[in-house]
Amino acid sequence: MEQRLAIEGGAILADASDSGNAAVAWFSAHPSLAKAVGEGAQSAVAKGRGGAFFVDTGTRRWVARPYRRGGLIALFSRDRYAWTGEDRVRSFREWRTLAALHALALPVPRPVAARYRRAGLTYCAELITERIENTEPLSARLEIEPVSLTLWIAIGRCLRRLHDAGGYHADLNAHNILVDSRDAVYVVDFDRGSIRRPGAWRDANLARLYRSLCKVSAPLAPDRFSATEWETLLAGYRSLPAAADDAAHGPA
């Protein structure tokens, strides 16, 4: 069950668990994530994680991420977004998307707490999720060694499970797919993601991942990614039966 706590200029969203309460307390003690890095958080998390960093409180291990703009607009505002209402705050929307997917035992990080703070007509936002231990991005794995066909199948099956639950990822790429030491697969960074009804977005998700894999593997050895690996991933994706109740996925 989610809980909302009002703070000066904004609010914090968390669940009512001990972890959620601990994150609320941590947010309260760290009004600035940038300053938190200098107070003991480990910076420079894996490439593609959007400026996230690890937080180790001694009893909790989290990933904290401030929301950052990219592209040309970042020249004018790196971390401010137009205020259009609390329900559209990026950290709150991602927290709720992750909570819905995690409740279905899907391979995504458990959301812990989300925060925003307004300043006039703009706001900044941050998210804390539980750290998935002993993982590395698929992109990093490819830089080191070829990925087994068994793992490509597992990646395809993981994506199919998410899609069947309506899990739309706005930026599915080789950096946002994590693989652990036992080759279990996870998907992270659901900023601008949502729960959707089945549709063409599934194919668009896969097409985006394909372009990312082509880009990442271009400077690598030819055995890292080819048509064979992609077809194997798709075979894993297609190996699961269709979801029984598409209507349960919610609105598009």
Specify whether 55 is located in the same domain as 145. Answer: no
Question: Domain boundary residue among 130, 162, 177?
Answer: 130
Q: How far apart are CA 252 and CA 82, in angstroms?
A: 23
209 and 120, same domain (yes or no) = no
- Tell me, rounded to whole angstroms, the distance of Cα 89 from its chain centroid: 16
**Last residue of a domain, which of 90, 105, 130?**
130
Tokens representing residue 242 in the block: 């269709």
User: Confidence band (pLDDT; 50, 70, 90) for 55?
Assistant: confident
Q: Is the pLDDT of residue 183 over 90?
A: yes
Q: Which of 215, 4, 62, 155 is nearest to 163 (CA)?
A: 155
> Domain check: are 240 and 154 in the same one?
yes
**Is 124 within 8 Å of 65 (Cβ atoms)?**
no
Tens digits of per-residue pLDDT, 13-44?
999 889 899 999 999 888 877 666 555 544 44
Burial class (CB in 10 A: 0-12, 13-18, 19+), 235: middle
At 210, which CATH number? 1.10.510.10
For residues 129 and 49, what is the distance between their CA atoms, to the nearest angstrom?
12
244 to 14, 150, 184: CA distances (angstroms): 31, 26, 25
Phi, psi of 6 (to 5 degrees): -75, 140
Closest Cα to residue 14, out of 54, 73, 51, 60? Answer: 60
Give the domain-ending residue among 101, 130, 159: 130
- Between CA 36 and CA 211 the distance in angstroms is 35
Are 114 and 139 in a shared domain?
A: no
Q: Tell me, rounded to whole angstroms, the distance of Cα 127 from its chain centroid.
A: 10
Same domain, 214 and 94: no
Average pLDDT in the 36-62 region? 64
What are residue 232's phi and psi, to 5 degrees? Answer: -70, -45
Residue bearing the bigger pLDDT, 15 or 50? 15
Domain residues for the domain of 164 are: 135-249
Residues 186 and 102 occupy one common structural domain: no
**pLDDT score of 78:** 73
Please tell me the total count of domains within the chain.
Answer: 2
Q: Are 107 and 185 in contact (CB under 8 A)?
A: yes
Do residue 98 and residue 148 come from a single domain? Answer: no
CA proximity to 62, closest of 84, 32, 40: 40
Tell me the whole-structure pTM to 2 decimals.
0.88
User: Active-site residue numbers?
Assistant: 171
The two counts, helices (H) then strands (E), for the chain are 7, 12
Give the phi and the psi of residue 228 in degrees, each rounded to 5.
Answer: -65, -45
- Count how many residues are written for the chain: 252
